[in-house]
Each structure stands twice: as C-alpha cells, then as structure tokens.
C-alpha cells in the first residue's frame, strides 16, 4: 500500500509493502500515481519506504514474472518511467529518504528525486544486470547525470552495490545520517526546502534554464509580499 501524509505543505509518500520489501507491483504503480495526484500543490515532497530494511527493493519479481513479451515489458517500463518522471518533474523539491536498501528499481526511484538522504549502513545499487536486464525506469540516464557517463556505465554495467559512505563520496547520495537521527534529519531537511524560493531554485538549476528565466524567477520573488515581509523583519530586528 501507499501512505500519503500531508503536513503544512510537506507531502510524505511512504511505500509500505513489508511482505515484498517495498517492491513495486502494478498495483503499487496505481497507488503511486494517485498519491502524486493528491500531493499536488505541496511545497516539498518526500518519497520513503516503510520500516528500516528496504527503501524499495526493485520491481516485484513474483508479479512481473508474468510479463513475458517485449510488448508487455515495454508497457510496464513506460508506465513506471512515467511515474519516475513525475517525481523528477514535481514542481517543488523532492527528497528520497533512503531508510533501507535501494536496489535495482529502488535505486531508479531514488535518483528521480532531487536530493537523497540515506540512513547510515544502507546500500544502493543499479544491480539489474544480475537478472540479465538493465535499468528501465530512466535510472541509467539519471545516474549518468549525477556521477558521469563512465561511472554510470561502470556501476550499472557491473551491478555494483555501494555502501552509503561510498555512495556519498560519489555524489549518488547527498547526506548520510546515523540511524538514530535519520527520521528527524530528513524531516528537518524537507521542511527547510518547503518554500517558494527553493522551488524557484529547482527550476533554475534544471538543465537548459536560460539566464532570462533565472532573472525573471528572481524578480518575481523580489516583488512578492513574502520578500518584503521578510525584509521588514530583518530591517526592524533589534529596534
């Protein structure tokens, strides 16, 4: 099942399938789409798995084994790729809270987010080659954008699974937190990003954004009431 928590502009989507280590089934795809619909308008989005063993363990092999033709495989890939695209294109900052291992398709969901926060000791890897397949949900391309084409080919082509510290060093995850601090850590980060300025910065740092678009984004924020209210607080501090 998918759980959606809405809290003062923060939307938290939790994949909760303990019997399958939070693997993605066709029904999970349905629920993810509905959760993303319901999260529209949130100022920040978090994707996480339930428990502390798995973020997402990949596709649900028991169910997806029924897909035997190229046509069926392509349809499934396009569908979940579209969901990952929706996560990547969400208009506000998106955090993947890696509470547990993110393997195969789970790593693909993780890299669809803008920022990855990992609990210490988790593992992440594009290990689809162990099943004689490849990433299907846009993960290979996003991995290349994060770590470079050569490293992406090396990691995904060999099926290397990285410890959290190594993933941090490569830039595959952005922050590693001790397990005891993990819950509060990702929530604090997500709340700090739940603002219009962060959403504007997300648009500006996207590939292909022009200088004109960046300046216009700044100017809109400058002219908004929120800016002048904040400026007044700073100017009147200590008076």
Give the residue-averaged pLDDT of 153-159. 98
pLDDT of residue 239: 64
- Prediction pTM value: 0.95
**Cα 201 from Cα 222, distance rounded (Å):** 14
pLDDT tens, position by position, 52-73: 999 999 999 999 989 999 999 9
What Cα–Cα distance (Å) separates residue 109 from each residue in 45, 80, 123, 127? 13, 9, 14, 14
E strands, the chain, are 2-7, 10-15, 44-49, 54-56, 94-98, 101-103, 115-119, 123-125, 161-163, 175-177
- The winner for highest mean pLDDT among 61-70, 186-195, 223-232 is 186-195
Q: Residue 107: pLDDT band by 50, 70, 90 thresholds?
A: very high
pLDDT of residue 149: 97
pLDDT of residue 237: 81
Q: Residue 238: pLDDT band by 50, 70, 90 thresholds?
A: low
Q: Which residue ranges form the domains of the chain, and what is each CATH number?
A: 2-193 (3.90.226.10), 208-235 (no CATH)
Q: Residue 76: pLDDT band by 50, 70, 90 thresholds?
A: very high
**Cα 233 from Cα 68, distance rounded (Å):** 62
pLDDT of residue 25: 96
């Amino acid at each position: 099942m998918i759980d959606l928590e809405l809290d003062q502009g923060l939307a938290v989507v939790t994949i909760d399938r303990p019997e399958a280590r939070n693997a993605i089934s066709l029904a999970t795809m349905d629920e993810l789409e509905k959760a993303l619909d319901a999260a529209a308008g949130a100022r920040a989005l978090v994707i996480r798995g339930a428990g502390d063993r798995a973020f997402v363990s990949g596709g649900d092999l028991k169910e997806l084994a029924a897909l035997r033709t190229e046509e069926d495989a392509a349809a499934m890939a396009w569908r979940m790729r579209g969901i990952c695209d929706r996560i990547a294109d969400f208009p506000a900052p998106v955090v993947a809270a890696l509470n547990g291992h993110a393997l195969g398709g789970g790593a693909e969901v993780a890299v669809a987010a803008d920022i990855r926060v990992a609990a210490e000791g988790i593992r992440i890897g594009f290990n689809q080659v162990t099943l004689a397949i490849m990433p299907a949900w846009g993960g290979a391309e996003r991995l290349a954008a994060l770590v470079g084409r050569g490293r992406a080919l090396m990691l995904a082509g060999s099926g290397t699974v990285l410890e959290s510290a190594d993933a941090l060093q490569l830039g595959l995850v952005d922050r590693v937190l001790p397990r005891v601090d993990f819950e509060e850590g990702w929530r604090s980060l997500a709340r700090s990003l739940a603002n219009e300025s962060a959403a504007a910065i997300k648009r500006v740092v996207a590939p292909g954004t022009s200088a004109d678009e960046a300046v216009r984004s700044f100017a809109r924020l400058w002219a908004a009431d929120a800016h002048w209210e904040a400026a007044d607080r700073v100017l009147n501090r200590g008076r």
